[in-house]
């Protein structure tokens, strides 16, 4: 039994067979067979389903299946690297988000890297056309998650960015895991801007939506993957939370961290004139959790350029939250 494993997660209307060429290349690469077991997670994603006895699982259900699959892996696998293609990246992000929501951040510590290829982080414009065709007729629950501006995908991404990508330590609601996103330079299914999205570690690789995970003569795919695998083996495990103190105390100690949940501080007396002071309250945490506020004022930049909604900026977060209408 090797001390590490690579877990491959395929995309929509696909299977573990999509990794056949890459599996053969990795198996023939010196050092990989000695260090890593190659594991392949399969899930139901048929193109069509007319049977009333079968249903297509949605992304949440597939994420739960992935959770049980990883839990069943031997504890001798001290380190896991998850490699995804297309929709598989959304499945893994949903799994990570749900684990954090359940307070199981510590259980994610052995996942040392997530490598995504051609993941529709901001949706696929191609599916805006397909929804008018056969997929729209068959009500493909997985396809709906691939359309641009899906609230469930954006909420998942927000939690992953806060609790995974920007995390500094392990606790119940966070676990730092490097997430690397690769786009295909000629991909017409998932554009490079959608694949790269807000993830700080990203690059563009040769190939279209499918050939981006097929080893080529230039060796770029293999070199990129081997570099990630080497880092996953070499980099230390993250530290645990410095204390069991309240969230805001831990945030202060780490300076660069975010508040994971909304918290209210105050009142704070601020002089507003030579003869008067005004009581202010400070709200900390995700903008999406604010409520009962009539007006929010947000500054832009000196160029008066609107931030893109999917960027991790204050104005982008405000507009993304305002696009979700509900009882809150």
Tens digits of residue pLDDT in 250-306: 444 444 456 777 777 777 777 777 777 787 878 887 777 777 777 777 766 666 666
Q: Which residues pair with 113 in a beta bridge?
A: 81
Rounded to whole angstroms, how far apart are CA atoms 142 and 146? 7
Give the torsion through C-alpha atoms of 278, 281, 287, 292, to 10 deg.
Answer: -80
Decide which of 193 and 82 is more confident. 82
- Residue 125, pLDDT score: 60
Q: Does 267 sit behind a cis peptide bond, omega within 30 degrees of 0 on the bond before it?
A: yes
Question: Who's near 190: CB < 8 A, 6+ residues apart?
Answer: 86, 118, 119, 120, 124, 183, 184, 209
Question: Angle at the Cα of 162 (from 257 to 10), degrees rounded to 5?
Answer: 150
3-state secondary structure of 164: helix
Of residues 289, 291, 297, 295, the one with CA closest to residue 315 = 297
- Residue 99, pLDDT score: 96
Of 222-231, 251-260, 311-320, give the range with the top mean pLDDT.
222-231
Residue 153's Cβ-count burial label (10 Å; 0-12, 13-18, 19+) is buried
Of 45-59, 120-134, 200-214, give the range with the top mean pLDDT.
200-214
Rounded to whole angstroms, how far apart are CA atoms 142 and 114? 21
Domains of the chain and any CATH numbers: 4-234 (3.40.50.1820), 261-322 (no CATH)
Residue whose entry in the numeric block shows the structure tokens 């005004």: 278
- Residue 205, pLDDT score: 96
What is the arithmetic mean of pLDDT over 53-59? 77
Quick one: which H or E segment has residue 288?
Answer: none
Give the torsion through C-alpha atoms of 229, 232, 235, 237, to 10 deg.
Answer: -170
């Amino acid at each position: 039994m090797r001390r590490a494993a690579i877990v491959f997660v395929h995309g929509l209307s696909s299977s573990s067979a999509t990794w056949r060429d890459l599996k053969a290349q990795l198996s023939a690469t010196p050092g990989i067979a000695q260090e890593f077991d190659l594991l392949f997670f399969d899930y139901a994603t048929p193109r069509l389903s007319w049977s009333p006895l079968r249903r297509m699982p949605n992304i949440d259900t597939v994420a739960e299946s992935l959770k049980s699959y990883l839990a069943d892996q031997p504890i001798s696998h001290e380190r896991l690297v998850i490699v995804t293609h297309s929709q598989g990246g959304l499945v893994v992000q949903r799994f990570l988000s749900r684990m954090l929501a359940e307070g199981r951040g510590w259980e994610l510590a052995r996942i040392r890297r997530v490598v995504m290829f051609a993941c529709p982080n901001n949706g696929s414009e191609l599916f805006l056309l397909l929804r008018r065709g056969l997929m729209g007729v068959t009500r493909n629950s997985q396809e709906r998650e691939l359309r641009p501006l899906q609230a469930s995908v954006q909420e998942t991404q927000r939690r992953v960015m806060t609790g995974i990508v920007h995390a500094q330590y392990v606790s119940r609601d966070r676990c730092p895991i490097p997430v690397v996103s690769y786009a295909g330079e000629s991909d017409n299914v998932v554009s490079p801007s959608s694949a790269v999205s807000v993830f700080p570690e990203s690059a563009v690789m040769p190939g279209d939506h499918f050939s981006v995970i097929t080893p080529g003569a230039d060796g770029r795919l293999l070199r990129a993957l081997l570099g990630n695998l080497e880092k996953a083996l070499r980099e230390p495990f993250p530290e645990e939370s410095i204390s069991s103190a309240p969230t805001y105390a831990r945030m202060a100690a780490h300076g660069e961290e975010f508040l994971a949940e909304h918290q209210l501080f105050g009142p704070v007396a601020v002089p507003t004139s030579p003869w008067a002071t005004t009581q202010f309250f400070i709200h900390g945490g995700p903008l999406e959790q604010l409520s009962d506020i009539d007006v929010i004022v947000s500054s832009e930049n000196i160029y008066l350029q609107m931030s893109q909604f999917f960027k991790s900026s204050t104005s982008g977060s405000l507009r993304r939250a305002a696009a979700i209408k509900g009882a809150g």
